[in-house]
Structure 1
């Protein structure tokens, strides 16, 4: 809750504290985020190995970020849905399935970006 006595800067610092707390909670409690971070690390190692360009690094980091954001939003939607209706409900299941589609789209886009970056480099090895 917003405290009317907080200055603008103090309010932003509190927001930043909550944002880092949320990121930490995701990293330490959600397996899907852990898996996506592992893929991001692997992609980064590949980037160093293949000496990808600055533009390729930007695209790769945008793709990694897109997947992590989609996973985080999916997790938040699932947690709210479970809180609102803890028992199985067809409509809640539908909402959760749709939410799960977001990281799926993000992952597909990231795989396409990875293919565009790395397939030509792998072909040069052979």
Structure 2
């Protein structure tokens, strides 16, 4: 049981590292805070909140994995190498795809509500 509890400490340590060192992760968190505020103001349904939670989770997880992949790539290939660049670029592309998907989900949910709210 103590190993299980320690694993949470390791996870929080990793999260702390990303919060301290990764500007993009902090940007995604700020965007999430704004989305939550807007969702609260527009009174999203439970189903809409589930889409928002899923999309936000997808973006944050891909950002965490991207950071881990970049650190590992730097460890095994400290010198510039074309394959290391591809690894980092593809990892960054995963974050981009997740963020664009989340943005599309947000637009589908928020635009109709904002249009109705403005009317």
Alpha-carbon separation, structure 1, partners of 2:23 and 2:75: 19
3-state SS in 2 of match to 1:12: helix
Q: How far does residue 44 in structure 1 lie from its aligned partner after superposition?
A: 0.5
Q: How far does residue 62 in structure 1 lie from its aligned partner after superposition?
A: 1.1
Structure ranking higher in helix proportion: 2
Return the TM-score normalized by structure 1.
0.90
- The answer as to 2:45 corresponding to 1:53 is yes
Q: Please, which of 64, 68, 73 is the counterpart of residue 72 of structure 1?
A: 64
- 1:60-114 CA distances to partner (integer Å, 9 max, x unpaired)? 0111111000001001101111111112111100111111111111011101110
Q: Please, which of 18, 33, 47 is the counterpart of residue 26 of structure 1?
A: 18
Runs of 4+ in 1 over 4 A off after TM superposition: none
Aligned residues: 118
Please say which structure displays the higher CA radius of gyration.
1
**Runs of 5+ unmatched residues, structure 2:** none
Return the TM-score normalized by structure 2.
0.95
Alpha-carbon separation, structure 2, partners of 1:30 and 1:58: 26
